[in-house]
Amino acid sequence: MAKQIIHKLIDDLEGGDADETIKFALDGVQYEIDLSASNAEKLRDVFAPYTAHGAKIGRGGVVGGGRASRGAVGVDGGRAGHGRRGAATDREQNKAIRDWAKKSGKDISDRGRIPLEVVNEYHSKAGH
């Protein structure tokens, strides 16, 4: 006997068909929402004035894994994979954040992901 499993995305706002899953973060909390193309555009339009003036952190922070996240919005509000800086730049920034955190008495490892709270505090207090 053959079985076919169909995964269908449902728009979390309106209940109709969804075209994509968008991931984003706000105040250190990560969110994921399935939206139609129209609602996804509305969400991006809402983020636009804030992301245009916000400081980009890392490479988007909350993209990857999971379902169809082709239009994921990262911490920086930008689309996944668009306008990405080079890995060397990310390493330099991560090193600067770790150095600042250690000098500020934060308990932070030499490797691995840097907690979002530390990154945000670095940008707000260190003026970067």
DSSP string of the chain, one letter each residue:
---------B-TTTSSB--EEEEEEETTEEEEEEE-HHHHHHHHHHHHHHHTTSPP-TT-SS-SSSS--TT-B-TTSSBTTSSPPPHHHHHHHHHHHHHHHHHTT----SSSPPPHHHHHHHHHHS--
Average pLDDT, the chain: 78
Residue 65 lies in a domain: yes
Domain of 100, in residue numbers: 87-125
As for how many domains the chain has, the answer is 2
CATH number at residue 99: 4.10.320.10
Banded model confidence at residue 121, pLDDT cuts 50, 70, 90: confident
Determine if the pTM surpasses 0.75: no
73 plus 93 within the same structural domain? no
Residue 62 lies in a domain: yes
Q: What percent of the chain has pLDDT over 90?
A: 27
